[in-house]
Every structure is written in structure tokens, then in C-alpha cells.
Structure 1
Amino acid sequence: MRITAADVPALERGVALLGSGGGGDTVTVAVLLRRLLESGREPAVVGVADLPPDTLVVPIGIVGATAALTEKLPSGDEMASAVAAIQRWTGQRAQALMTIEIGGLNGLLPLAAAAELGLPYADADLCGRGLPRLDQASVAATGRGMAPAAMAEPGGQVVVLASASDAAVEDGVRAFLVSSGGWAAIALAPIPAGELAENTVLATTSQALALGRRALAAGENPDLPTLETALRGRVLARGRVLEVSRHVGPGERGRPGFGRGSATLADHRDGALLRLEMENEYLLALRDGLPVASTPDILSVLDRRTGVPLQCDLIRAGVEVDVVCLAAAPFWTDPRRRPLLEPRAYGIDCDPVVAG
């Protein structure tokens, strides 16, 4: 299929829902993508099974403080520079692109890069949702590994991490971002299309587009059965946010932690209190103190007036919201992989809530 300008609103809504409160603001990136598509450069999104097995697919995306992207806008060359660097280092030419992460702005911006570079776009990603760390990606879960990785920042610096463990790649990226203005484009080594089914989360762009279309079709402030049918999920609460608290979370390997916090709301249906524990994404929901949903399932908070997903850093007391839970991609329900995303992976002492 080809992504057109008419698809952008639905795709934006879908990737925002899959961001689980993280992944960065999609509004500015959607404008950039829409303008590119209106010029006639429409990327072809190709199913993994439809790509020749030897097609070399390069995962690309944005890493770092995505909020800085709206303050320090991309020049448009960053992803092309990162792809060129990984091609030089590996000696392999990119024959297709894919996103590292479907949740949030990375569900949109790599499509623009594919259109600019004239390359097909594989319908898969490395996360299936929004995730905060590279060492949580699917290629880390399967043991394929992250390195080598090439980064290009808006000022023109290009760095290649040639060989390192997944944890070291994550640390190296964070260290580079300190001096790069907060964000950078990243490209990973090409993956043969024949290996994508084993190492990636499949069909995520087409699924995000379908999810967004259903969400928009449900309209603003739908009743709960309509909302659950549209999202194919379950509503955990509908009510007013009473309190939001924030603090710095625990760090790892000597670096500062991500922002951590919680939001509490009263469910209008029965007065129950729902508390959301959050980091860069919503991680755990407790209803009257009992866990009712958790990562790796996707928790999303929707503004009742508009249906727009609220990011963790934007949720505020007094807002009327719907809290919904969407099922995790099957890739992450495998017990061998789930520990990378379950609550304890974020330092929360709680077993994952397994949907049944």
C-alpha cells in the first residue's frame, strides 16, 4: 500500500495510541509528513512476506529527548546521513527502510525518510509500541543485537558505534545525545528481509493505520462500548484526574534516571480510584490498589473531549480522561521475551498483569 496525505490523520492517531503515553509529540511531525506526501512522494509500505528474502532493510528512527525536536527542528538530512554512515561502515546498501519504533513520532518520520530516499518501507518495527530504551528492542530480545549503530545529529556530527553489547549501545547513545542538542537520527545495520519475521514485530504500520481509522470513526467522546469496539481494547476507567506527582526515577549504570510519576483519577462509573504508574510511558494501572493492567500491554490515556492520547508529560489534574488498555503485540507475549518489558524491567516490584 502507499501512504498518502489523506492517511496522515489516522496514522498519527494510531501511532499516538501505540506510544502508551510516550514516543514524542506527533503533531509537528505529522505536518512535515503531510507536506511531503502532498508533493507526490508517497512511500510504498510493503509486507515483510512480500519482500525478497535477501532485501537489506535498514531500521531508522529518532532517539533522545523527542520534546527537543520541536525546538530544534530537523534539517531533513539527519536520517539520510545516518543511513549513509551505516552503509559505509557495513559495506551494504540499504534496499528498504523500516522504523525502529511504531509508537509516537517514530511511526511517522521514517516514512518521510523513505519517501525522500525513494526506498520501500517494510511493514514492521523493533518495538510494536513506545519504548524508552534501545536495549528493550526486539533485536535485543532475540539476541540479534543492536550494533553497529550510526547516529547523525542536527549540527552535522555523525558517530558510529561499531561493536558493543545492547546495554553499551544504549549507554553510548545517551552519552552522544548530551552533546548533540538532545536528539539524533539513528540507523542500524541492514537486516535481510528473510530474518525480519523472527526478529521484529510485524505489520505495525498497517495496524497503526487501521487502529487510527477506527478511533477517528468513533468520533469525539464516544460511549464506552463504542470506544472499546473501536480500539479493540478495554476501558479501565472514565473520570477526572485528581492528582499527578512526578519525581526522578532510579538510574542505571551511573546515569540519571528517566522522569517517573503517577496519576490518580476517580472512575465516574463507581467511584473507584485508578492509579497509573508512569515513566516515559504508562507502565502499570492499579484499581483501588490492585493491579489491573501493565506493560507489555499498552496503556493509553485519552482526553475525553477530543479522544487525543495524552502523553505522560502532559497529563494534568482536572482533565477528564478515558484510560484504555490495548493488547501487546504477540511478539511480547512470549514468556522468553516478556521480562524485557514487564514492570520489574522498570524497577516496579509487581508481576505483569497477563490479559486472559
Structure 2
Amino acid sequence: MTRFGPDVLRSIAAEHIDALAAGATLLGSGGGGDVSLGSHLLRHALAPAGRRVQVVPAAGLPPTGLVVHAGVVGAPDVLAERLLSPGDLARAVEAVVGHLGGDLAAVGVIEIGGLNAVAAVLAAAHLGVPVVDGDLMGRAFPRINQTTAAVAGHPAAPLALVGPAADTVIVPTASAAMAEALIRGCAATMGGAASLAMYPVTAAVLAARGIRSSLSACHALGTAFLTRDPAAGARDLAARLGARLLFEGRIDEIRPQLAGSPGCVTLTAPDGGATARLDYHEEFLAVTLDGVTVACTPGIIVALAAGNCAPLRADQIRLGQSLALLGLPALHTWPPGTADLVGPPAFGLDLEAVTV
């Protein structure tokens, strides 16, 4: 049973894509890129021939089977405009497998929040292998070392990047800081975005260190969202999602990010009483209500447009909008000592961590 429902995905077909995309958008916590382009490509890959991508838990693979995690990296505006290439994703995975030798058992999901949830399924469909029902982040995070694999001491390299002209860069070994710098630098050189394959591990390691049932939870969460009563409002939706309604109000001020520091949004309740601050970077990071932090990373924060309850990304927030802020429980309980990696301090916020 997943955190958000009893359904466990056995395969992904065209009829699963809308729910998967909706769930990935919610789990993006306001970031992770636009899921819609990836979902259209996945539908194009699966719908014509009634194809399916097998979904397997890491524990269901041969223990020594190789799993390579696939996704995309780059500027959100470039990813929104450039057509994502399943072939490039597959080439990146094949480059890592070719460097290591052996056979690929399955493709892994780097982050279940945002576009990369769909990108991994696209790669698996193109390669004709299963996708693992799990991921390494439990939401969307901006840095490649913000993973359960990194916490357990597993390096991101060997890794590979593939650009739109099929240019391929293979990094055999690198520290976490150097891997991050190389990935960002190569993506910029490749036009602002690239397909990425990294964190090659055995299925046994992934079963022990990865986050389990992420795709199933994502699909169940998206199904709950899509089957809501649009007229019922944010409080009813929060109950359906197993979330907590944190605040409802109008955006009165937006302070942009400066020199890598988080930005913040100030909201005021309709009655003019309570105020809330929403901290954000590439994703939503924390909600503080009248000076008290009520939700923060690695928990998941969802901003919904008033009226239709459509989820908004951080780059879609505008002055004067009316929002409802929801707090979703994290898919993974991060161990003590990881606040500097995935908690508020990782983003320069001096806030006391709270659990939704």
C-alpha cells in the first residue's frame, strides 16, 4: 500500500499518464519543470501500439542487476521550449552501461517530482526495459547530491550527458561538488539543457537505499487530484490528498531571489488578519504563518490557484493572485543529520524544521 492509496502500479500505459503527470506536478513542490511536454511525448510513445512499460520494485529485480537513473537537467525555460528526446535519454543510459559493462536491468527515477518522473519512464520505454517503482529524492530537489544514494555514500558518477546534437560527455568519476559543476557546465554548453544518466547501482543497493513505491504513490496522488470535485474547494482537496491546508490568502508582495538566496512571497488572509510567508528557490521551501513555520522542506508544499485549485509552479506565482497552500507529507523520512542537505539550512534558511 502506498502512502496515498492502495494501488500498486504493475505497468504504465497511456491511461496512466494523466494521473502520473498530475501526481508528479504536486510532488514537485512548485519545481521540477513543466510535466506536460514529457507526458505528451510519453503518450505518443505508448498510445499508438497499446504499449506498456513494466514497473518493478527494486527488490523484484535480480540483486546484481544494474539500474541507471535517467532524467534531464537544465534551465526550466529551455526545458519548456526544447522537445525532450527519448533517444537522448536512452543514449545517456547506454553510455553509462557501456562504460561499466554488463546489461541494464531497469531504469531508475532520479526525482519523482516534476518532469523527471516522466523522463525516466520515457527512457525505459525507448530502451525496452522496466522502470523501478521508486526514486532517489521523494520530491523535486535542485541539486544532484540531494538523494538517498548520496546520503548512503554512493557517488553520482559514472554519469553521462547527451545534448540535442547527440554530443555525449561521460564522467567516469567525480566528487559530489565536481559532478554538480560538470553537469551544470555541460548542460549550459549544450544549449541550456541535456539528458542525464547517473547513480548506477545494483538492484540490491537500490532496494536498501532508494525510496520505495514512488511511482505508485505518484499515480495514486494524481488520481485523487484528478477525481476531485472542482467546486469543493481547497479544504476538501487537502483531505483527499492526505494533506494539510496551511493558508489561504492573496499575494501582496513578492521578493525575488538575489545572488542565489531564496525569494519569498507574502500573503494576507481575506479578512486582513493573518499573514503568511512562502519561501522559494527553484521549489517551494517553507511556509511561515504569523512568524511560526508550519511546513518546510523536505516536506512538500503545494500552491493552488483559488477557484480551480490548479497547482502552480514557483515561476508561475504573480502579484495579486489568491492561493491556497497545502502541506503534503514527505514520501521519505530522511535520517538525522541530513538537514544541511535537504532541510531549510540547505537553502540558506534559518528555520526550525517541522514535519507535516
Give the TM-score category using the shorter length: over 0.9
Distance 1:248 1:342 in 2: 20
Secondary structure of residue in 2 paired with 1:101: coil
1:314-333 aligned at under 5 Å gives the runs 314-332=316-334
Give the equivalent residue in structure 2 for 1:162.
172
- The letter for the 2-side match of 1:328 is A
Corresponding position: 1:312 with 2:321: no
Secondary structure of residue in 2 paired with 1:95: strand
User: Are the counterparts in 1 of residues 157 and 200 from structure 2 also a CA contact under 8 Å?
Assistant: no
Residues 1:230 and 1:270: Cα distance change in structure 2 (over 3 Å): farther
Give the equivalent residue in structure 2 for 1:280.
282
Distance 1:189 1:88 in 2: 14
User: Are the counterparts in 2 of residues 294 and 342 from structure 1 also a CA contact under 8 Å?
Assistant: yes
Distance 2:46 2:309 in 1: 25
* Match for residue 29 of structure 1 among 38, 47, 68: 38
- The letter for the 2-side match of 1:291 is T
- CA drift of 1:247 comes to 2.8
- CA drift of 1:224 comes to 4.4
- CA drift of 1:313 comes to 0.8
* Match for residue 64 of structure 2 among 51, 54, 63: 54
Give the equivalent residue in structure 2 for 1:253.
none
Give the equivalent residue in structure 2 for 1:142.
152
- CA drift of 1:98 comes to 1.3
Give the equivalent residue in structure 2 for 1:17.
26
1:262-281 aligned at under 5 Å gives the runs 262-268=264-270, 271-281=273-283
- CA drift of 1:13 comes to 0.9
- CA drift of 1:76 comes to 3.2
- CA drift of 1:225 comes to 4.1
Structure 1 residues 5-46: Cα deviation after superposition (integer angstroms, max 9, x where no partner)? 121111111000000010001112111111212122210111
* Match for residue 194 of structure 2 among 184, 187, 195: 184
Distance 2:165 2:19 in 1: 32
Give the equivalent residue in structure 2 for 1:294.
296
Residues 1:345 and 1:89: Cα distance change in structure 2 (over 3 Å): same
Distance 1:224 1:100 in 2: 30
Instruction: Indicate the larger mover: 44-53 or 165-174.
Output: 44-53
1:1-356 aligned at under 5 Å gives the runs 1-39=10-48, 40-250=50-260, 260-268=262-270, 271-332=273-334, 334-355=335-356
Kindly tell me the number of residue pairs found equivalent between the two proteins. Answer: 346
- CA drift of 1:70 comes to 2.8
- CA drift of 1:241 comes to 1.9
Residues 1:307 and 1:34: Cα distance change in structure 2 (over 3 Å): farther
RMSD: 1.7
Structure 1 residues 120-145: Cα deviation after superposition (integer angstroms, max 9, x where no partner)? 11101111100000011221111112
User: Are the counterparts in 2 of residues 144 and 199 from structure 1 also a CA contact under 8 Å?
Assistant: no
- CA drift of 1:335 comes to 1.0
Instruction: Indicate the larger mover: 188-197 or 76-85.
Output: 188-197
Secondary structure of residue in 2 paired with 1:44: strand
Instruction: Indicate the larger mover: 268-277 or 59-68.
Output: 268-277
User: Are the counterparts in 2 of residues 21 and 281 from structure 1 also a CA contact under 8 Å?
Assistant: yes
User: Are the counterparts in 2 of residues 220 and 304 from structure 1 also a CA contact under 8 Å?
Assistant: no
Distance 2:54 2:30 in 1: 28
- The letter for the 1-side match of 2:245 is V
TM-score, normalising length: structure 1: 0.92
Identity value in percent: 37
Distance 1:221 1:166 in 2: 47
Task: Provide structure 2 residue ranges, at least 5 long, that are not aligned to the other structure.
Answer: 1-9
Structure 1 residues 28-71: Cα deviation after superposition (integer angstroms, max 9, x where no partner)? 21111112121222101112232222221111111111321232
Secondary structure of residue in 1 paired with 2:315: coil
TM-score, normalising length: structure 2: 0.92
Distance 2:235 2:69 in 1: 37
Give the equivalent residue in structure 1 for 2:4.
none
Structure 1 residues 111-162: Cα deviation after superposition (integer angstroms, max 9, x where no partner)? 1221121101110111110000001122111111211111111122111111
- The letter for the 1-side match of 2:301 is L
- CA drift of 1:219 comes to 2.7
